Amino acid sequence: MPDQIPRLDRLAREATAAISAQEGTHWGSAGLIAPGWALTAAHVVRAAGAAPYTVTLWNGRSISARTGYLLSGVPDSGPVPAESDIALVRLLEDDTDHACVWLSDRGDPPSREVRAYGWYVAGGKRGKELLDWNGVCVVAGNDGPYSFRLGPQTEIPKGASGGPVIDLSQGALVGLTKASRRTSEGDIKDGGRAVRSTLLREFASPVVVDPDHVLGPDPYHALVCAHDRWHAESDLRDGWTDVQGELPGNGLPDSTTSWSPGDRLELFELLAALPAPDDPTLVRSLLRVVFHNRAKFPATSALRHWRDGHGEIYQYRMQFTIEALPYLRYAKLVALAVASMPGAASSAADLDRWVGRRMRRLGLEADVSVGEVTLPGRVDGDITVQGGTNATGVLVRPGGHAQNPPLAAEPLQVGILDARPGDGPSVLLELEPALWSPSAAFHWRLRVLDPEQDDDAVVDADENGDGVPPDDLPLALQRPLTRLFLQLDTPERHAPLEVVLPPEHFDLAVQHWLPQAAVTDLDLSDPACWPLGVRRQVVVRDASRRGGVDPLWEMRWKETAAAAALRALPTPQPGRLLRRAGLAGAGPGQVPVVCRPAADATGREALRLALESGHGVFLWNVGPHPPDGCDEQCRSFNGNAAQLLADAGSAAELPERLRVLRERIHRRDPHAYWAKPLALMYDDADRPLAEPAGVLDAP
Last residue of a domain, one of 354, 371, 388: 371
pLDDT at residue 528 is higher than 80: no
- Residues 185 and 258 both lie in one domain: no
- Residues 672 and 551 both lie in one domain: yes
Per-residue pLDDT at 40: 98
Burial degree of 397 (CB within 10 A; 0-12, 13-18, 19+): exposed
Q: From CA 396, how far away is CA 558, in angstroms rounded?
A: 26
Helices (H) then strands (E): counts for the chain: 17, 24
* CA distances (Å), origin 672, targets 100, 248, 642, 663: 55, 62, 14, 9
CB of 171 closer than 8 Å to CB of 104: no
CATH code: domain of residue 9: 2.40.10.120
Instruction: Starting at the earlier edge strand, list the strands of the sheet with 442-449.
Output: 458-462, 442-449, 426-433, 497-501, 538-542, 678-682, 617-621, 590-594, 567-570
Q: From CA 16, how far away is CA 120, in angstroms rounded?
A: 12
Residue 405 lies in a domain: no
Per-residue pLDDT at 521: 46
Per-residue pLDDT at 389: 30
- Residues 458 and 344 both lie in one domain: no
Mean pLDDT of 152-172: 92
577 vs 192, residue with greater confidence: 192
Q: What percent of the chain has pLDDT over 90?
A: 59
Please report, in angstroms and rounded to a whole number, the separation of the first and last CA atoms in the chain. Answer: 51
Taking the complete model, does pTM exceed 0.95, yes or no? no
Burial degree of 240 (CB within 10 A; 0-12, 13-18, 19+): buried
State pLDDT tens for residues 467-509.
999 988 998 898 899 888 988 888 888 999 999 999 999 999 9
- Residues 177 and 257 both lie in one domain: no
Residue 155 lies in a domain: yes
Distance, C-alpha 612 to centroid of its chain: 36
Burial degree of 223 (CB within 10 A; 0-12, 13-18, 19+): buried
Residue 237 lies in a domain: no
Q: From CA 422, how far away is CA 50, in angstroms rounded?
A: 44
Sign of the alpha-carbon torsion through 625, 631, 633, 635: positive
Per-residue pLDDT at 190: 63
According to DSSP, the residues that pair with 555 across neighbouring strands are none
pLDDT at residue 113 is higher than 90: yes
Residue 296 lies in a domain: yes
Q: From CA 481, how far away is CA 470, in angstroms rounded?
A: 16
pLDDT band at 649 (very low <50, low <70, confident <90, very high): confident
Residue 243 lies in a domain: no
Mean pLDDT of 106-117: 93
Question: Which range in 125-129, 439-443, 513-517 is most confidently predicted, on average pLDDT?
Answer: 439-443
pLDDT at residue 517 is higher than 70: no
Mean pLDDT of 281-305: 88
pLDDT at residue 696 is higher than 50: no
- Residues 89 and 188 both lie in one domain: yes
CB of 38 closer than 8 Å to CB of 17: yes
What SS3 class is residue 359? helix
Q: From CA 370, how far away is CA 354, in angstroms rounded?
A: 13
Select from 449, 469, 486, 434 the least CA-distant residue to 83. Answer: 486
- Residues 199 and 289 both lie in one domain: no
CB of 137 closer than 8 Å to CB of 150: yes
C-alpha Rg value of the chain to the nearest Å: 28
pLDDT at residue 402 is higher than 80: no
Domain containing 41 equals 2-104+112-208
Q: Which residues of 552-562 are buried (b: 16+ CB within 10 A; e: fewer)?
A: ebbebbebbbe
- Residues 167 and 41 both lie in one domain: yes
Per-residue pLDDT at 379: 38
- Residues 318 and 431 both lie in one domain: no
| 252-266, 418-432, 504-518, 628-642: least confidently modelled range | 504-518
CB of 510 closer than 8 Å to CB of 499: yes
pLDDT at residue 523 is higher than 80: no
63 vs 145, residue with greater confidence: 63
Q: Per the structure, how many domains does the chain have? A: 3
Residue 226 lies in a domain: no
205 vs 181, residue with greater confidence: 205
Per-residue pLDDT at 148: 93
Last residue of a domain, one of 350, 371, 392: 371
Strands 53-56 and 16-20, sheet pairing: antiparallel
Mean pLDDT of 650-673: 92
- Residues 257 and 171 both lie in one domain: no
Identify the DSSP state of 275: P
CB of 31 closer than 8 Å to CB of 97: no
What SS3 class is residue 560? helix
Q: Which residues of 625-646 are buried (b: 16+ CB within 10 A; e: fewer)?
A: beeeebeebbebbbbbbbbbbe
504 vs 699, residue with greater confidence: 504
Cβ–Cβ contacts within 10 Å for residue 391, how many?
A: 21
Per-residue pLDDT at 366: 67
Residue 26 lies in a domain: yes
Peptide bond into 261 cis (omega under 30): no
Q: From CA 192, how far away is CA 118, in angstroms rounded?
A: 14
Per-residue pLDDT at 388: 29
- Residues 302 and 443 both lie in one domain: no
Per-residue pLDDT at 613: 94
Q: From CA 447, how far away is CA 237, in angstroms rounded?
A: 46
- Residues 315 and 459 both lie in one domain: no
Q: Name the average pLDDT for the chain.
A: 86
Select from 652, 634, 675, 618 the least CA-distant residue to 503. Answer: 618
Residue 599 lies in a domain: yes
Per-residue pLDDT at 281: 85
Mean pLDDT of 51-61: 95
State pLDDT tens for residues 223-252.
999 999 999 999 877 799 999 988 988 877
- Residues 200 and 268 both lie in one domain: no
> Following DSSP, what letter does each residue of 196-250 receive, concatenated?
EGGGGGGGGS-EE-STT-TTTT-HHHHHHHHHHHHHHHHTTSSSHHHHHTTSGGG
